[in-house]
Amino acid sequence: MTKPILYGTAVSGPSRAVYLVIEALGLDVELRDVDLYTKQTLTAEFIK
C-alpha cells in the first residue's frame, strides 16, 4: 500500500492541525510542502 500524501504549508493552521493528528495517531505519511505564494497549487503536476 502506498503512503498517503499530506499537502500543506507551515503557515496554514488547518495543515498543522492535520499534521498533529497524524503524529498523535502514529501514521506513516509523506509530507509535501506547498508554496501558496508562488501559486504552486495551480501547476499541472499539483492539479493531477
Instruction: Identify the CATH number of the domain in which residue 32 sits.
Output: 3.40.30.10
Alpha-carbon gap, residue 27 to 42, rounded angstroms:
28
Residue showing cell 504549508: 9
More confident residue, 46 or 33: 33
Alpha-carbon gap, residue 26 to 20, rounded angstroms:
10
Alpha-carbon gap, residue 22 to 45, rounded angstroms:
25
Residue range(s) defining the domain that contains residue 10:
5-47
pLDDT at position 19, please?
Answer: 92
Q: For residue 16, name the pLDDT band (cuts at 50, 70, 90).
A: very high
pLDDT at position 36, please?
Answer: 76
Give the predicted TM-score (pTM) of the model.
Answer: 0.67
Question: What total number of domains does the chain contain?
Answer: 1
